[in-house]
Structures are given as structure tokens and as C-alpha cells.
Structure 1
Amino acid sequence: MPKGKKYLIWVLVLAVGLLALAFPLFFKKKKTTFVTETAKRGTVAKIVSATGQLFANQEIRLNFETTGRVKEIKTFVGADLAQGEVVAILDDSNLNFELERARLAYEKALADSGSNDDAVREAKEAVAGAEAYLKEVESLEKQKVQAAESDYQNAKDYYDDALSYYNQVKIDSGENSSAAKSAKLTLTTAQSNKNKAAENLELAKKTKEVNVIYAENSLRTNKEKLKTIQSNFAERSRDASVATAKNAYELAKSNLEKSALKAPVAGTITQLNYKKGEVIGSSNLADSFGKMISKDFILESNIAEADIAEVKLDQTAEVSFDALSADEVFRAKVIEIDPASTIIQDVIYYKVKFRLENFDQRLKEGMSADIDIKIQQRDDVIFIPTRAVSKKMGKKTVKILNAKGLATEVEVTTGIESDEGTVEIVSGLNEGDQVIVSEDDGN
């Protein structure tokens, strides 16, 4: 064979060998690794942040938040009102009807979903009964053990005395004397009584242990049952139909409360634009019902148009002033939203006024502040990182890591999103689920 051809064959053999060695390194299936976060239970809040300034003797616009016919005006121009005093009332007959209808619909939705307040109440009563029974058993069995201990101690003392007397009689009269035989009979009886008392004491202790364990198990069972019922109730209450009915009920209650216009701050009425019997329609809700001059400091802020739609009257806010420590937080409430816009450096803003709920003598007119408006808040809800939620064909899904370490996709219903990168999970996940936020297939 020519040397060139022989050399080529060896080169091909070597190349095939190298490919065989390299193939597993480049083409073997690599294990996928997951980065997970635990689904937790807690509070989810959505915040709008802004800056503001403190002013004194500000003019406040008084506006109803709902439409209706003016039923009664409770004040007059020039009147001094305390915070919370009623300015005027709308006819609330329709609102009461809507509230009752919404309440019945909500109760029906709860009943249809299997949620029942009675079951929760009965389970709580069972827990209370089991707790009372445990205390009663512990007290009664303790008394029985103490009585048995007292009986045993008395029997032991009697036995010790009988033994001492018998030993003394043997010394004085001899072991075979009638006195010794009588003393021995007494000692035998005392020994029997002591043994019986010891058995009774041991039985009392064991009986106490068994009865207390039984009562504790009963309490534990009832607590677990209550927890399950409460968990089921909470889960069913988050069902879409129940949630919708509940929201309608809460809205009806809110609308009824809004039928009374109250002074948001202490001040003097300077203007009233409506009379009894006149109608406030949706087209003139933005027109002020009246005006007043505040006697307290008012915090004023400009909110960007991107956020103003989420800001509502009576929402709460946390305020910190630049002149004071950042750790000192004051509570405030939204009392006015100006419907007219203001353009600042080519950006549209809306003026919002706040009333401070806890005044401090150190506060001075003109002080600047940082304001966090609490738009929405949900307490005791399940939440996960927002980035774990995907959208597919109009549905929201989350991947979770199952017990075998495999990824499983589940459909979820989400609630509010916080500014901290978390989102409320209304249904689809349980507390403690391992949610996949990212994965790496090794390639």
C-alpha cells in the first residue's frame, strides 16, 4: 500500500476517534436548573409616590362622589364646621335598595360556593368547648392524683408506725408473744393498705395521662378542622363569582356612604352652589357643591396624569417631611382632587390636597414632603414575584416545581401588583408552593 494512502487511513481513524470522544461532551442532554421563589402570605400594596408642600388657610372644594338629588343641606355660608360634620345629603332610597340587593346576591354566591359562616362559627365553638374540656380534665385529674398521693402518704406513715411498733414489741416481749403476733397482724394490714394506695396512685397518674392526651387530641382535631374550614372558606370566597358579588356589595356600601358629603377638614363654609331638590348628575360631578377655608395645614401635591386615575378621595397616604427625620411618618388622607389639569415642563399634572391626621407643632407652612399614596392594599393574601407570571392566549400561568423536581404549569388568577415587584394570587396557588422565576437548560 502506498505510504500516502496509509497515512490518510490513519488520519481518518484518528478523526473518527476524536469525534467519538467529543460527541457526548457537545451533544449530551444537560440537566435543567431552576431558580424558585416561595409563594408567601402577607400584604400586597400598590403605591403612588409624589412630592408636596404644606400650606395654611387653603380653599377646599366640596364635591359629592356620586350622583343624586339633594335631599338636605345641613349648613350655611359662614358656618364653622368641625372635621367630619355633614354638609349635605343626597336622596339615598335607591342606594339602600341597591345595597340590599347586592347583599343578597353576595350571600347567595357564598351559599352556592359552599362557603358558610355558620360552619366557621360552629368550628370555633367546638374549639372553645375542647379548650374548656381540656382545662376541666387537667383540673379534675390533678385533684384525683393529689388525693391518691395523700392516701398513699397516709398509708405509708401508718405502715412506718406499725413497723416501728412491731420491732419494739419483739424486743420487749419476744417474737412469739401474743403482743408481737397482734402487732405483726397490724403490720401486715398496713403493708397491704400501703401497696393498695401505691397501686391507686399509679393508676391515678396513668388515668390522668390518658385522659389529658385524649382531651389534647380532641382539641388538636377541632383546631385542624377549624383551620380547614377557614381555609376552604377563604379559598371559596376568592372564587370569581363570589369575588364579583363581594365587590358589588362593597361598592354599594361605599356609594351609600358617599351620599353624605362631610367636611374633610375643620373650616368655614364660603360657598354653596346647590339647593335642596336639585340634581347632581354625572356631567356636573366635577363642579364643586361648595367651598370652605381650612383652619388646618393642608398638604398640596401635583400628581402626574399617568397616576391620577388611580387616586381617589379618602385614600390614605404616608408622609415624611424633609425638615424632620425620615423615620417620622405622618398619616394623611386625600380630601380634594382638582379636575383641572396643570402643565409643568410639558407634563400634565393634577393638583391633589391632603389632610394630615396627626399634626405636629414643628410643622411650618412651606415645608416640603415626600408622599406615598396607598392606592390599594390586600392583607393576608398569597403573593409571588410578578416576573413568575406568564400570559398565554389571554390566560395567566405560573410554573411551579413539583415534589419530583419537575416543572408543572398551572393557571392562576391575579389581583393587584405592588411597586415592589410582587403580585397577588387570587386563585391557582397555595402558600408554600415553589414558583419558578427562571430556568437554565444548560445550553
Structure 2
Amino acid sequence: MQDKSALLGSLKIDRGPLEEPSSGKGRLVAIVVVIALLVGLGGWFLRPDPAIPVTTTTARAQGSGAAGAGSVLDASGYVVARRRATVSSKVTGKVVELMIEEGTRVEQGQVLARIDDSNLRAQLELSRSQMEASKAQLTEVQVQLVEADRNLKRTKELAGRQLLSQSALDNAQANADSLRARLESTRRNVTVSERSVSVQQQELDDTIVRAPFAGVITVKNAQPGEMISPLSAGGDGTRTGIGTLVDMESLEVEVDVNENFINRVHAGQEAQSTLNAYPDWKIPSEVIAVIPTADRSKATVKVRIALKVKDPRVLPDMGARVSFMAEKADDSGKPARPIVLVDKSAVNRGAQEAVVFMLRGETAERRAVTLGDTRGNDIEVTAGLSGGETLVIGDFAKLADGARVAVKTKE
């Protein structure tokens, strides 16, 4: 029993003398430290999320103007001339005179160049001399025939009075018939010689190169002293033409349309052409024809586009982009809905739906959209946007509805 009491006594706590209460200044410092810690922790937990760096793009509505019709398809191509010719001579020869330069405007039938014609002129003179000789021979035969006819007449009269024999009459008749046949042959020779002169004259005229139609010289290929030939029969040193002539009134645009969308294009359809050199100039256009054949290597179909406005700024082989316009109204008379195009990088195609994020001040607003056809770097939005919205482009893994964003400025 004493052992238990001794053991309990050893477990007592010796509190010692009571400590003096701490001063008021120490207590105040402790309170300030606690408040500072609380404020720091509150600021840490309540601080805003860092802004996500993004760039922006704008949703573009096509055909939302007064016309009430939008583009159903865009395609790229080039300006081409339907009337374009490499002008050459009909004969092989040396150029002695050239009267064109690049940019020269010429009229139909205007002389562009002259070919050396000295040999052809000599041949023409020879043919003319042969024709004159044939005509002189014809005159001689005609005179002989007149004399033979007179002699035949006298011989018949004398033979009728038994003053000349039958053989004399036969000889006179044969002589007249022979001269008559010779006269016919000589007449044919004269005709041949006249045609020969005409051919030689035509060959001489062919040494003068004339414009086949009115237009502008775009390329000058030859110089005086060079040989030209329509078939380049003279070898590598022989030119095939003196220059290229283009009828500027026949300019049009040819585009290659993907065969998957060719059903959106038809003859007579309204279109709008934009030259790469003048991106702000919209040229009213119209579909001339859809060429009825496809390019299997590119899976495209060629379409011809007429430019309704003739302008000297339009030049052959310029790059162009054509927008094929939708019909202005449907059967009910309601205007067609504008087509909205956005940059493909602004669309997040998820497993469930496609979404975009619109810029609202400093935050991003999530918007579900319905997508249509892809057009180059753009994609058509058929529902969800009306055009003009500012969309953000950034890391879609971080973007969310209401997320803070910071638009990066272009350097």
C-alpha cells in the first residue's frame, strides 16, 4: 500500500511558482502576426487565375449585303484570253522589218512585219513574162486561124467548081482544124500562166505579216535579221513567230473547282471575281460554262467565268479568286442566309460537338457551332454564328467558358 502511495506521489507535477503575466505589447505583436498570416493565405487562395495568351480572328459573313445572296463556293484560278495567237508568216524567210513592241495596240489587218521577198519578186516577174508570152502566142494562133478559115472558104468554092481537087480541100480543112485546136490549147496555157502569176503574187503578199485581229502585243519573239518559219523547219535558230497577240476584250477567268462541289456551279450563275493584285476590287462576273470533263490527277473540273467589267487593270495570267454566289431568294421569296466563314484554327472539334470561344472583354465565352464545308484555311459555320464575332485562338486544353484571356499583339 505504501509502495502505491509512493508511486502516485512520484507522478505529481511540480508547477513551481506562477509566472508573471506577459506584457500587453507582446500580445499586440502576436495579434498582428496572426492577421498578416491570415491576409496572406486569403490572398493566395483568392487570387485570380493567370490570363491565357490568345490571338483573335473575325467570323466573316459572305453575301450579307443588299444583294441578299452569299457565296456557296470559292475557287482560285487565272485570267486567260480566249483569243490569243502567236503571229507568224506563212512562208519561211528572214525578217527585214519589224513594227511592233511589247504593249503595242494593233488593229485587224495592220502590218506587223515584213519578210525578205527578193526571190519571190523575181519569181513573180518570171511568171508574168511567161504569161505575156502565152498571150502573144494566143494572138498569133488567132491570126493564123483567121487566115486558115479564109483559105478553107476559098478552097471550098474552087473545089465546088471542080477547079481544085478533094485532097486540097482536105488539107485546108485539116489546117484550119489544127489551128483551132492549137488556139484552145494556147488559151489554156494563158489561163495557167495567169494563175501562176496569182500564186506568185499571193506568196509575195504572204511575206507581209498582218494582225489577224485587234489586240495588244504581249510578247516580241523576233528581231530584224532573224529567220522565222510557221513550222520551225529551219532548226533551233529559226523562230516560229514574231510575237504574241492578245485580244483584251476576250479576257475571262478559268478556275478549277473540286469535283465534290461542282454541283453548286451552273452556267449563268452570278459570281464575284477578285484579282490577287487588287484584293479590294470586287468584279461582277458570271459563269459562262462548266467544261464537261474532269482532271483525274487533281480531281477538279474547269469552269469559265465572264468578267462583266472591262478594265485595263485586268491582264492575262493574273491570279484570281472567284466566289460563286447563291440564289438571291428561295421559292418563298425569303433572302438566302449569309454564309459565315471562320479560320479553322479557331474551331475546337471535340468528340461530341464543335465549339468556338468568343472574346467578351477579357474573358472567353464558349459557343457550340455547326460546321459545313472546308474552303482552304477557312471552314463554313452553318449555325451558331451570324458573322462579325471576334473569336480567340489559343490552347483549347486551357480555354473554358469564362476563362481570362490576354490577346497577344502582333509585332
The TM-score, its normalising length taken from structure 1, stands at 0.29
**Relative contact order, higher structure (CA 8 A, sep 6+):** 1
Name the structure where helix makes up a greater proportion of residues.
1
Which is higher, the Rg of structure 1 or of structure 2? 2
